[in-house]
Structure 1
């Protein structure tokens, strides 16, 4: 949760930085000449690419089906233009390094080195670890409620936010899954799935923050709070995917939802007597410090680990603490409800 909260604060800043830096590398005349030559000849130096024998749809013009590019290569959409840009970028960066110049961005991205066709291997691996951490947290929460804490006579948990946290866990795992896919290969489809998953998680997290912090237990009241927010988030996701993928508008929406829920949790942590409120503060403050990596945005070390990848690394322990707080909250509320029953 914390990663989606704090990124909302700095998303606009990072976006503007990327806009200003996006054309530094690809505006280089030597890079442009290399790409143009590669697209004509299919080669960069002594490296030649079979992709350049195929158009962007993966099939040779007027060719039989058996000359089509294999599906296992086509799914990543590494076409002639992508390979030309990638290897021209690598060669140009070697030349810049020999001259003592630092890396620059190409088409809005730092010069990463592929590993088995994976575009940003460190971010993919760390997104996968975050996914594993979310699964571990959700599974331990499930085990706690169903096997360690007392249950009602109807075999349901006393904790009144069980279903909501289960949904949150599934949305979190979904978000990190598409984050890993997006960092593996940045194309239009993976970008939309990653952004849509993040917005869905942010929207539901806002609902959850309101319901838990204000201790909304009545089902009708929960529906009244959730319905307009669910409608807005759904409409926003449909707008991004089927009408216009507006980065600026999406950033504003994420900022509002992120700031709102962060303030709710922070204020609740300050006024509540919850025994594990220190964990909530740790997540809030730690997440804020971790986001300094996103502001700094340094180029990838050895072409693999950049500031964004390190930010993904910091969210792993914070996610563990967050799920620990959720489990403590379940134990705390269950104990209070049992006291009232007795």
Structure 2
């Protein structure tokens, strides 16, 4: 049950990002004026950008902007508009600080400082650490099942949810990978991949919650549970990618699916006698406290550490505990199934 507290928080935040495109910062007339001048002149103060060098017909003077940089820097895809927005934001924030005003959001985001081309470097680092933690958890789970626990005569694990957790591991790693990419550079493609990966993880997690909590071992029963949920999740992802990026609708879907699986896991946690259920409660408390960081949002400290970045950090130990529970569950189920066979 517990892991879904912070999984839902992760997905819900992904669903909520940029729901409101207009923010206090980008509504500021001085900021808008700065951007307008920058896109015409290619400069903000004394800083000028090669991306903004255009001829009278609108083409770049020195060729495509992405060919004007070293190969190792082209991945970040900063263009004229992006650089103008970033440096105008920095100037406005400096002016606001001089008169005692606090930071405000620009285009739905706090004013972060770039680091080596990364848009939100701390969130990128913690997303990468979450990815590494999921890889470590999945790999140790795989080794436990195939090399440490006894196997059936056909060399398959006794644990009847092994395949489901393997898929969960890959979906989790995929979701955190695209989270890291999205925080590196927020463009249309990375946004859609981040959203799609998060929704896929959330939808599959609901399927897994139902199958594990109700101990569904029959393939027909599993298909009856999975088929409609997979169809809905796939349709929703295709809708977001190919028809309309509807942030409000996506948020509603995430919340409903998240609450549904929380209820399923809560009921199971209340009736199970699992020997490692205490680990679930540790993550429940930790996940609940971590979610406070999302509720009480605050601007980035020194331009790097904001509430969301710290929330990413808090999920790292929770991931370790969750995979520890999964491995305990594998040992517990394997022992019980072996007894039945004997």
TM-score category of the 2 structures, normalised to the smaller one: over 0.9
Whole-Å separation in 1 of the counterparts to 2:296 and 2:64: 49
Unpaired runs of at least 5, structure 1: none
- Cα deviation, residue 99, structure 1: 1.1
| Deviation of the 1:280 alpha carbon | 1.4
1:215/1:180 CA distance change after superposition, 3 Å: same
1:209 counterpart residue number: 209
What is the aligned partner in structure 2 of residue 156 from structure 1?
A: 156
Aligned twin of 1:127: 127
Q: Alignment partner of 2:224: what SS? A: helix
Give me the whole-angstrom Cα distance separating, in 2, the residues matched to 1:330 and 1:43.
Answer: 60
Matches within 5 A, 1:92-107: 92-107=92-107
The answer to whether the 8 A contact 2:67-2:74 is kept is no
* Residue in structure 1 matched with residue 250 of structure 2 by the alignment: 250
Quote the residue 2:229 is aligned against: 229
Cα 1:80–1:171 shift into 2, 3 Å: same
Q: Distance in 1 between matches of 2:217 and 2:66?
A: 62
Secondary structure of 2:103 counterpart: coil
2:313 alignment partner in structure 1: 313
Q: Which moved more, 1:323-332 or 1:76-85?
A: 76-85
CA 89–169 in structure 1, closer or farther in 2 if over 3 Å, else same? same
For residues 260-279 of structure 1, give each alpha carbon's deviation from its aligned partner in whole angstroms, at most 9, with x where no partner exists.
Answer: 11121122111100001111
Give the C-alpha shift of residue 164 in structure 1: 0.2
CA RMSD between the two structures: 2.2
Contact 2:113-2:119 within 8 A present in 1 as well? yes
* Deviation (angstroms), 1:4: 2.3
> What's the offset of the Cα at 1:69?
3.4
C-alpha displacement of 1:43: 1.0
Instruction: Give the superposition deviation at 1:54.
Output: 5.2
Q: Quote the Cα distance in structure 1 between the aligned partners of 2:230 and 2:328.
A: 27
* CA displacement at 1:6 relative to structure 2: 3.3
Q: Runs (4+) of structure 1 moved beyond 4 Å?
A: 7-12, 63-68, 70-74
Aligned pair in 2 of structure 1 residues 193, 134: CA closer, same or farther (>3 Å)? same
How far apart in 2 are the matches of 1:120 and 1:66? 23
Distance 1:319 1:59, change over 3 A: farther
TM-score (norm 2): 0.93
Q: Matches of 1:247 and 1:203 in 2, distance apart?
A: 17
SS at match of 2:76: coil
Partner SS state of residue 232, structure 1:
helix
Tell me the CA shift for residue 76 of structure 1. Answer: 2.4
Q: What CA distance in whole angstroms lies between the structure 2 residues aligned with 1:93 and 1:36?
A: 17
Task: Give the TM-score of the pair, scaled to structure 1.
Answer: 0.93
Partner of 1:51: 51
Deviation, structure 1 residue 60? 2.0
